């Protein structure tokens, strides 16, 4: 260091206080933090900390209400992956999701296209199909139970009257999961339909006109060349949201089947609930939660990554 | 032969009448522009021709063949949209190939994977690709074929839209405000390209715009529309110098034509703005008329008196080679605008009194209702301004 460095350092030290731009920037940053602060605090308290707690509890053998606990490391996870019940539950969940997501998307899109193609009664059809989504699923599940009742249920009575084979829908391990999935589709249909309707409205008429002139003027050609590609972003959103909802389905299982018969309708969230709050094995339940979280987050990321590139056409 | 003919076409949307009894014949190979402010029905007329909209009454024919009720793709037309209407999920090549694929491949052959296995798909696909490439090269977008529209600039998208229209050699080209989404500089450049395209293809072009500069520079004939009516159909210079009525005169030209109310003093002489002008019209003494004088029809006169108008200068806009002088004249509500050559009128400032002469035959007479009163000696283009002169003025 020589003599020339000293005055330079002085200049540098003087600048921050003197620069109005810097003061303004600081004030702006402060205001920003203050405005974001409350929401950030709530996020931490309500989301981040509980998730963190789950991760900690997952590494213990804590039982709900117990006064002591031991850290057991990854023992809970070893147990999970060795557990036949968990594997069945995971498979059931995957099958359920694989039925509900395509079913909801295809039916929701079909209904949206039908409503949009007609001129009359649009609001009525929209409302009717959206009702199940608005209704409390727990209450609706009871209505479904009545419909599906093996002897006095409307479904079996109708089938019998038509001379078709009947079944004990919720007590047969071959039918219980598809039936629950059908209820899941019925419930999410309205949500998908409303989003598709909004998506259809935002497709520029010019594109349909261009398709007409280019010769893609038949129903299927218009669908393939204009409607479906332009609904890409909406479809991606619907798929992600419905998949997440299907992954965390719980109400219908709890109310209609309690996971039965056997483990035929046991899904991840139900396993989690049963381990944590019926068997009070909170530590084990927490590790199921961790697995559940990892699957859900990974799924969302993969979907968003892969689909984002394909639907936004940049 | 692929001229286009509209016969008594009418169209309303609910209570709003958009087209009132429009009849128009467009010759094969002609470049015709439908010019009018937004909402005048010009786009609707184009969409009826394209088959995207159906007229309430009247008939449309293309190449002598009635096309009422014919689907758009069977009309042998192509259209360039204002928004370009490119399919955002397809590459440029796929966008341009679509009209050909739709026509040359069967529905089975268009299926994604299975279609490729069918006989003939590969050969037809290869031909289509070759034609797309040839067209793209002709338009200077050969290097963009694998891009998606979202990655292109406005001018490039416009070329792709033109390419998609061109690729299947339609008999009639329809363009709906194709340049209005471009910036000013690019618009002028694309204007030239469209003109050249028309020359090269030699097919009928029907072009919709609200921009009179585009209409004047591109067209063989301009059809001026207002409120669903066709006011005048004529070559650009005639539209400008010999408008059929007041609304046409007022719509064309920038700055706007000056409208001065006057009274016939005696045959051939009109009292206007405190002076008297010689205008050769067949109206008797006392008849009320309106004179339309284009800003550039004025020239600086030495003194007041018959044949010259006098006004007080409000302010002067310097436009380089020209001056726009705004004047107050006695008995005229709106300021009169005169466009003077800068070198001929060097010293004009606000507040000054200015005497303006009017070039012979350049005062257009109208009735107070707006109908044109033709001069007794008919106007000929040679007597008026030259075409280049006019085009310069409308820009």
Give per-residue pLDDT as tens, B153-187. Answer: 888 999 999 999 999 899 999 999 999 888 888 88
Q: State pLDDT tens for residues B240-273.
A: 999 999 999 999 988 899 999 999 988 888 888 8
Residues B134 and B101 in one domain: yes
Residues B229 and B274 in one domain: no
Q: Give residue A132's pLDDT.
A: 85
Q: State pLDDT tens for residues A130-171.
A: 888 888 888 888 888 888 888 888 888 888 889 888 888 888
Could you confirm whether domain A75-311 is CATH 1.10.357.10?
Answer: no
Could A216 and B102 be called an inter-chain contact, meaning their C-beta atoms sit closer than 8 Å?
A: yes
Q: State pLDDT tens for residues A42-96.
A: 999 999 999 999 999 888 888 887 788 888 888 888 888 888 888 999 999 999 9
The answer to whether residues B3 and B39 touch, using CB atoms and an 8 Å cutoff, is: no
Residues B262 and B232 in one domain: no
Residue B249 is assigned to a structural domain of this protein? no
Residues B124 and B209 in one domain: yes
Q: Which of chain A's residues have a Cβ under 8 Å away from the Cβ of B150?
A: 312-314
Rounded average pLDDT over A113-123: 86
Could A220 and B107 be called an inter-chain contact, meaning their C-beta atoms sit closer than 8 Å?
A: yes
Of B178, B209, B239, which closes a domain? B239
pLDDT at B384 over 50: no
Could A314 and B78 be called an inter-chain contact, meaning their C-beta atoms sit closer than 8 Å?
A: no
Could A213 and B83 be called an inter-chain contact, meaning their C-beta atoms sit closer than 8 Å?
A: no
Residues B140 and B199 in one domain: yes
Residue B246 is assigned to a structural domain of this protein? no
Residues B61 and B209 in one domain: yes
Mean pLDDT, chain B, as a whole number?
88
The answer to whether residues A238 and A192 touch, using CB atoms and an 8 Å cutoff, is: yes
Q: Name the residue of chain A whose CA is nearest to B96's CA.
A: A214
Of B214, B239, B264, which closes a domain? B239
Q: Give residue B168's pLDDT.
A: 87
Residues B195 and B270 in one domain: no
Q: Give residue A143's pLDDT.
A: 87
Residues B227 and B285 in one domain: no
Residue B282 is assigned to a structural domain of this protein? yes
The count of structural domains within chain B is 2
Residues B71 and B103 in one domain: yes
CATH number of the domain enclosing B128: 3.40.50.300
The answer to whether residues A284 and B121 touch, using CB atoms and an 8 Å cutoff, is: no
Of B177, B207, B239, which closes a domain? B239
Residues spanned by the domain of B151: 4-239
Q: Which of A199, A203, A206, A214 to mutate to test the interface with B (most CBs of B within 10 A)?
A: A214
Q: State pLDDT tens for residues B327-364.
A: 999 888 889 999 998 887 668 888 889 999 988 788 89
Chain-centroid distance of CA A42 in Å reads: 22
The reply to whether ipTM tops 0.85 is no
DSSP assigned state of B90 = S
pLDDT at A11 over 80: no
Residues B193 and B70 in one domain: yes
pLDDT > 90 fraction of chain B, expressed in percent and rounded: 55
Q: Which of A213, A226, A230 lies at the smallest CB-CB distance from B73?
A: A213
Residues B158 and B28 in one domain: yes
pLDDT at B388 over 70: no
Q: Name the residue of chain A whose CA is nearest to B90's CA.
A: A313
Q: Which of chain A's residues have a Cβ under 8 Å away from the Cβ of B51?
A: 212-213
Q: Which of chain B's residues have a Cβ under 8 Å away from the Cβ of A230?
A: 88-89
Q: Give residue B1's pLDDT.
A: 57
> What is the full DSSP assignment across A116-145?
HH--SSHHHHHHHHHHHHHS-HHHHHHHHH
Q: Give residue A18's pLDDT.
A: 59
pLDDT at A4 over 80: no
pLDDT at A174 over 60: yes
Residue B248 is assigned to a structural domain of this protein? no
Element (H, E) at B35: strand B31-35
Rounded average pLDDT over B69-96: 91
Q: Give residue A248's pLDDT.
A: 85
In chain A, domain spans = 5-57, 75-311
Distance of alpha carbon B336 from alpha carbon B241, whole angstroms: 19
pLDDT > 70 fraction of chain B, expressed in percent and rounded: 94
């Amino acid at each position: 260091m020589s003599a020339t460095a000293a005055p330079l350092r002085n200049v540098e030290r003087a600048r921050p206080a003197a620069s109005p731009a810097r003061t303004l920037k600081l004030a702006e940053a402060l205001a920003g933090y203050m405005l974001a602060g409350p929401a950030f605090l709530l996020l931490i308290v309500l989301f981040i900390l509980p998730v963190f707690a789950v991760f900690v509890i997952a590494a213990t053998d804590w039982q709900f209400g117990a006064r002591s606990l031991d850290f057991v490391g990854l023992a809970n996870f070893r147990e999970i992956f060795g557990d036949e019940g968990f594997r069945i539950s995971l498979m059931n969940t995957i099958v359920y999701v694989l039925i509900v997501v395509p079913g909801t998307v295809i039916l929701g899109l079909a209904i949206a296209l039908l409503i949009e193609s007609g001129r009359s009664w649009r609001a009525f059809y929209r409302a009717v199909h959206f009702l199940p989504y608005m209704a409390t699923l727990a209450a609706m599940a009871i209505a479904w139970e009545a419909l599906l009742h093996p002897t006095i249920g409307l479904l079996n009575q109708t089938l019998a009257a038509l001379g078709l084979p009947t079944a004990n829908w919720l007590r047969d391990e071959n039918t219980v999961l598809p039936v629950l999935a059908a209820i899941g589709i019925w419930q999410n249909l309205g949500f998908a339909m409303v989003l598709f309707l909004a998506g259809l409205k935002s497709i520029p008429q010019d594109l349909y006109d261009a398709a007409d002139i280019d010769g893609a003027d038949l129903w299927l050609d218009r669908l393939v060349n204009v409607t479906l590609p332009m609904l890409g972003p909406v479809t991606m959103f619907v798929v992600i949201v419905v998949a997440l909802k299907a992954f965390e389905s719980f109400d219908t299982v709890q109310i209609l089947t309690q996971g039965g018969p056997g483990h035929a309708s046991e899904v991840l969230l139900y396993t989690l609930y049963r381990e944590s709050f019926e068997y009070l094995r909170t530590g084990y339940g927490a590790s199921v939660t961790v697995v559940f979280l990892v699957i859900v987050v990974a799924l969302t990321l993969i979907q968003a990554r892969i689909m984002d590139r394909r639907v936004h056409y940049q | 032969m692929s001229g286009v003919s509209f016969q008594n076409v009418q169209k309303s949307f609910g209570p709003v009448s958009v087209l009132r009894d429009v009849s128009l014949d467009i010759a094969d190979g002609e470049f015709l522009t439908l010019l009018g402010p937004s909402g005048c029905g010009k786009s609707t007329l184009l969409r009826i021709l394209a088959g995207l909209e159906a007229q309430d009454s009247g008939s449309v024919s293309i190449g002598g063949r009635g096309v009422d009720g014919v689907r758009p793709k069977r009309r042998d037309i192509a259209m360039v949209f204002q928004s370009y209407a490119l399919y955002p999920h397809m590459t440029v090549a796929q966008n341009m190939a679509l009209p050909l694929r739709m026509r040359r491949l069967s529905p089975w052959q268009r299926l994604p994977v299975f279609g490729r296995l069918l006989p003939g798909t590969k050969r037809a696909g290869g031909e289509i690709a070759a034609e797309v490439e040839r067209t793209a090269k002709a338009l200077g977008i050969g290097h963009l074929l694998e891009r998606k529209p979202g990655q292109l600039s406005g001018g490039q998208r416009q070329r792709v839209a033109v390419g998609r229209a061109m690729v299947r050699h339609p008999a009639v080209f329809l363009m709906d405000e194709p340049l209005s989404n471009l910036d000013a500089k690019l618009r002028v450049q694309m204007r030239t390209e469209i003109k050249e395209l028309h020359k090269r293809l030699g097919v009928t072009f029907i072009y919709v715009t609200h921009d009179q500069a585009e209409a004047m520079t591109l067209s063989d004939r301009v059809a001026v529309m207002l409120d669903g009516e066709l006011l005048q159909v004529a070559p650009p210079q005639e539209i400008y110098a010999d408008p059929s009525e007041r609304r046409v005169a007022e719509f064309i030209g920038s700055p706007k034509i000056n409208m001065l109310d006057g009274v016939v003093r005696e045959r051939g002489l009109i009292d206007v703005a405190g002076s008297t002008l010689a205008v050769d019209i067949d109206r008797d003494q006392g008849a009320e008329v309106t004179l339309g004088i284009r800003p550039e029809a004025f020239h600086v006169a030495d003194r007041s008196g018959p044949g010259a108008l006098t006004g007080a200068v409000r302010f002067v806009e310097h436009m380089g080679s020209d001056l726009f002088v705004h004047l107050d004249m006695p008995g005229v509500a709106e300021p009169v605008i005169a466009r003077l050559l800068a070198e001929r009128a060097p010293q004009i400032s606000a507040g000054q009194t200015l005497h303006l002469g009017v070039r012979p035959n350049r005062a257009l007479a109208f009735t107070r209702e707006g109908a044109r009163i033709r001069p007794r000696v008919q106007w000929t283009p040679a007597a008026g301004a030259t075409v280049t002169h006019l085009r310069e003025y409308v820009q």
